[in-house]
């Protein structure tokens, strides 16, 4: 059974970190040939979600040290080339750590891609920075291309 | 012995949030012992002021991504105490079951993913997954089961959405409960024996320091959802009088407030519950304690992890019991006889000025939520006392006693033992941002 997921990640109380979840909320008004999943701040439980799908498009804030609002698309395999964080904990377990654990267990993430936007502000608050907010239509277009 | 030692562990790994260990020994004399909490405080209590009275459960759930059900439950119980609401038996059974599920998933994460790597000489669970895949597969299977119980009862994982004042916005179906029941029994049969075998084979550091063990205590069950506050040193306290037992104190080196008993630091969590209530554990959990050699009263904080393993067995058996009770009674939609109140309810019954306290056992210990509601139905005051805050002073007291006993060991070994001690308490210093940090070249 072919199952495609669009998975939004992030904490909506930490301003731009909430991007993935905000995109997911907007996507529920679009008709897409994919299942929309709010992954919020799930850590390790993401592994089961990723395993359950044939193909997953992850949407998340990604700190790349680039100008705020920069949009990127990369594959899980590209992400897996990076070292994991030393301060491993379960609250901070991010997508990279989840993928690394999965990789150690011989899971394959060829069909996972990540659409990311560079955040500006990760302090407490529920609103996105203007540069990040302005990127949402582009993110949605990109998701539609990916799953269409 | 005269020895100088200066240890500064910046950001202890495998604990939730950011904490530093600072030890300073001059000429064999201990000058400084601190567990520094460097994380920014989050002021949830201030955020609650002025909100409509059913809103706190959904807001305070966000304090934690691991204990969200615990915060929701403590919040609901504090509000219901203030409003004089007594929920139905069905609501109590569902709430007790979801609370057991949350404790199970948190314990599994802690002992398999954060503690076990120390015993396999692995830096984290990632190399451990490569060398012992069957261990990690089992841990993931147990976690998934607990997560699924939370999703079925709470409507969403990790932050439940269906738990509201005086009930649930959605009641699980009998087939959902039956499906979970089968898996819970399977897990008890298949996952628990190898878990016990593994943890019985680990050699925990030998270190004892008797302290004050504080937990809830209930006449009829191993207290989790409710009970009196019980201290192994000072006896019982009513939940509404919690401030007689818990005094929050601001210390310079920590942005998390320390909570101390009136006389000295105390411990909350799995080992305190075990020490105070072990005779009320489920039958298989009592067997598990025997297999692990855990005997009450146990004064070794490193064995908190062993107490968590024992409690996991209890969690599974209690969920089985609650689900069988629920199926026996038949699940009912109670919305015609009770009005549930949620943060998003359009119309709320008028209230008179009132206050209440909810005290609940969550994975890391007793959690207190206190609320004051004004005549206008808005929250005028809130106080949340988190288990880790209650344990911080006790961890420092342990370190103060442990360091002089291990001063002759190599520096790396001292550091590792101190980190293992802090990790044993499973401190949950915060929930942090989950964003990816990526350096593209």
Look at A91 and B62 and tell me if their CB atoms are within 8 Å.
no
CATH number 3.40.190.10 given to A4-147: no
Nearest to A63 among B18, B62, B435 (CB): B435
Residue B327: per-residue pLDDT: 98
Residue B251: per-residue pLDDT: 66
- Which of A11, A61, A67, A91 would best serve as a mutation to test chain B binding (most B beta carbons within 10 A)? A91
Rg (CA), chain B: 22
Chain B residue with Cα closest to A20: B435
* Low-confidence spans in chain A with pLDDT less than 50: 1, 87, 89
Residue B222 lies in a domain: yes
Look at A82 and B439 and tell me if their CB atoms are within 8 Å.
yes
Per-residue pLDDT of chain B (441 residues; tens, 9 = 90+): 457 888 777 666 655 556 788 888 888 888 888 887 655 555 677 889 999 999 999 888 877 777 899 999 999 999 999 999 999 999 999 999 999 999 999 999 999 988 888 888 887 788 888 888 999 999 999 999 999 999 999 998 778 989 999 999 999 999 999 999 999 999 999 999 999 999 999 999 999 999 999 999 999 999 999 999 999 999 999 999 998 888 766 666 666 666 665 658 999 999 999 999 999 999 999 999 999 999 999 999 999 999 999 999 999 999 999 999 999 999 999 988 999 999 888 889 999 999 999 999 999 999 999 999 999 999 999 998 888 888 988 999 999 999 999 989 998 899 889 989 988 998 775 433 334 444 444
Query: B437 CB near a chain A CB, below 8 Å?
Result: yes
Look at A17 and B14 and tell me if their CB atoms are within 8 Å.
no
Q: What would the pLDDT profile of A4-42 be if each residue is shown by its tens digit?
A: 999 999 888 788 989 999 999 999 888 899 999 888 877
ipTM for the whole complex: 0.72
Look at A91 and B16 and tell me if their CB atoms are within 8 Å.
yes
Q: Which chain B residues are Cβ-neighbours of A101 within 8 angstroms?
A: 125-126, 129, 136
Following CA atoms B354, B238, B313, B392 in sequence, which dihedral angle do they give, to the nearest 10 degrees? 90
Query: B435 CB near a chain A CB, below 8 Å?
Result: yes
Look at A44 and B17 and tell me if their CB atoms are within 8 Å.
no
Residue B104 · residue B69 · CB < 8 Å: no
Please tell me the number of Cα atoms within 13 Å of A49 on its side-chain side.
25
Nearest to B434 among A9, A48, A84 (CB): A9
Chain B window 13-32: which residues touch A at a Cβ cutoff of 8 Å? 13-18
**β partners of residue B286:** none
Q: Which chain A residues are Cβ-neighbours of B17 within 8 angstroms?
A: 89, 91
Q: For residue A132, which phi and psi values (nearest 5 degrees)?
A: -80, -45
Chain A residue with Cα closest to B44: A124
Look at A42 and B157 and tell me if their CB atoms are within 8 Å.
yes
Nearest to B13 among A86, A100, A114 (CB): A86
Residue B19 · residue B8 · CB < 8 Å: no
Residue A84 · residue A40 · CB < 8 Å: no
Closest-CA residue to B254 (of B421, B20, B418, B46) = B20
Query: B124 CB near a chain A CB, below 8 Å?
Result: yes
Residue B118 · residue B423 · CB < 8 Å: yes
Alpha-carbon span A120 to A132, nearest angstrom: 8
From B180's Cα to the closest Cα of chain A, the distance in A is 17
Closest-CA residue to B19 (of B29, B8, B5, B4) = B8
Q: What is the CATH number of the domain that holds B305?
A: 1.10.645.10
Segments forming the whole domain that contains residue B247 = 44-432
Cα B325 versus chain centre, distance: 25
Query: B430 CB near a chain A CB, below 8 Å?
Result: yes
| Helices and strands in chain A: count of H runs, count of E runs | 6, 5
In sequence order, which residues have a C-beta less than 8 Å from that of residue B317 and are 6 or more positions away? B188, B282, B283, B284, B285
Look at B433 and A122 and tell me if their CB atoms are within 8 Å.
yes
**Domains in chain B: how many in total?**
1
Enumerate the H helices of A95-135 as residue ranges: 95-104, 130-133
Residue B437 lies in a domain: no
Q: Which chain B residues are Cβ-neighbours of A47 within 8 angstroms?
A: 140
Structure token digits, residue A91: 């609250």
Give the A:B interface size as CB pairs under 8 Å. 121
Question: How many Cβ atoms sit within 10 Å of the Cβ of residue B58?
Answer: 21
Query: B10 CB near a chain A CB, below 8 Å?
Result: no
In sequence order, which residues have a C-beta less than 8 Å from that of residue B193 and are 6 or more positions away? none
Q: For residue B22, which phi and psi values (nearest 5 degrees)?
A: -125, 120
Look at A60 and B433 and tell me if their CB atoms are within 8 Å.
no
| Helices and strands in chain B: count of H runs, count of E runs | 14, 15
Residue A58 · residue A110 · CB < 8 Å: no
Residue B415 · residue B7 · CB < 8 Å: yes
Residue B44: per-residue pLDDT: 75
**β partners of residue B34:** B22
Look at A63 and B436 and tell me if their CB atoms are within 8 Å.
yes
Residue B8 lies in a domain: no
Domain residue spans in chain A?
Answer: 4-147
Region class of B145: left (phi > 0), else alpha (psi between -120 and 50), else beta = alpha
From A100's Cα to the closest Cα of chain B, the distance in A is 7
Chain B residue with Cα closest to A64: B438
Nearest to B434 among A11, A79, A106 (CB): A11
Length of chain B measured in residues? 441
Residue A91: per-residue pLDDT: 52
Look at A65 and B144 and tell me if their CB atoms are within 8 Å.
no
């Amino acid at each position: 059974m072919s199952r495609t997921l669009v998975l939004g990640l992030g904490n909506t109380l930490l301003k731009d970190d909430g991007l993935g979840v905000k995109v997911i909320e907007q996507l529920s008004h679009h008709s897409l040939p994919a299942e929309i999943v709010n992954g919020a701040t799930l850590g390790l439980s993401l592994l089961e979600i990723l395993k359950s799908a044939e193909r997953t498009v992850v949407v998340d804030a990604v700190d790349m040290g680039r100008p705020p609002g920069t949009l990127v698309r990369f594959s899980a395999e590209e992400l897996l080339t990076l070292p994991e964080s030393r301060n491993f904990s379960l609250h901070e377990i991010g997508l990279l750590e989840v993928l690394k654990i999965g990789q150690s267990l011989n899971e394959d993430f060829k069909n996972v891609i990540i659409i990311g936007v560079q955040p500006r502000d990760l302090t407490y608050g529920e609103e996105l920075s203007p540069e990040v907010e302005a990127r949402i239509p582009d993110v949605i277009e990109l998701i539609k291309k990916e799953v269409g | 012995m005269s020895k100088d030692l200066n240890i500064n562990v910046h950001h202890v790994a495998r604990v939730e949030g950011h904490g530093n260990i600072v030890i300073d020994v001059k000429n064999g004399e201990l000058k400084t012992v601190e567990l520094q909490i460097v994380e920014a405080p989050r002021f949830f209590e201030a955020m609650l002021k002025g909100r409509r009275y059913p809103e706190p459960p959904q807001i305070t759930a966000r304090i934690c991504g691991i204990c969200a059900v615990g915060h929701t439950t403590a919040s609901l119980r504090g509000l219901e105490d203030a409003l004089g609401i007594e929920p139905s038996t069905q609501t109590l059974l569902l709430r007790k079951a979801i609370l057991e599920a949350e404790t199970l998933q948190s314990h599994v994460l802690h002992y398999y993913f954060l503690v076990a790597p120390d015993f396999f000489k692995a830096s984290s669970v990632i190399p451990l997954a490569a060398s012992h895949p069957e261990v990690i597969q089992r841990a993931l299977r147990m976690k998934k089961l607990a997560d699924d119980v939370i999703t079925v009862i709470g409507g969403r994982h990790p932050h439940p959405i269906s738990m509201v004042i005086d009930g649930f916005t959605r009641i699980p179906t009998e087939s959902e409960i039956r499906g979970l029941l089968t898996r819970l029994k399977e897990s008890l049969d298949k996952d628990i024996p190898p878990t016990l075998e593994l943890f019985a084979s680990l050699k925990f550091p030998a270190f004892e320091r008797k302290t004050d063990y504080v937990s809830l205590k209930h006449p009829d069950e191993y207290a989790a959802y409710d009970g009196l506050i019980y201290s192994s040193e000072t006896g019982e306290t009513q939940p509404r009088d919690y401030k007689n037992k818990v005094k929050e104190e601001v210390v310079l080196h920590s942005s998390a407030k320390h909570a101390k008993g009136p006389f000295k630091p105390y411990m909350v969590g799995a080992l305190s519950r075990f020490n105070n209530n072990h005779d009320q554990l489920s039958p298989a959990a009592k067997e598990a304690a025997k297999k692990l050699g855990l005997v009450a009263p146990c004064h070794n904080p490193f064995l908190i992890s062993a107490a968590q393993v024992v409690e996991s067995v209890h969690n599974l058996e209690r969920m089985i019991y609650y689900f069988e009770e629920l199926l026996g009674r038949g699940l009912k939609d109670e919305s015609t006889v009770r009005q549930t109140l949620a943060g998003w309810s359009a119309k709320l019954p008028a209230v008179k000025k009132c206050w209440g306290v909810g005290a609940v056992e969550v994975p890391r210990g007793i959690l207190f939520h206190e609320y004051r509601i004004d005549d206008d139905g808005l929250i005028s005051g809130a106080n949340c006392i988190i288990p880790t805050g209650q344990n911080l002073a006790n961890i420092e007291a342990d370190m103060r006693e442990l360091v002089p006993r291990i001063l002759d060991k190599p520096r790396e070994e001292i550091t590792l033992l101190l980190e293992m001690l802090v990790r044993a308490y499973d401190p949950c210093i915060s929930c942090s941002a989950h964003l990816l940090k990526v350096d593209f070249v």
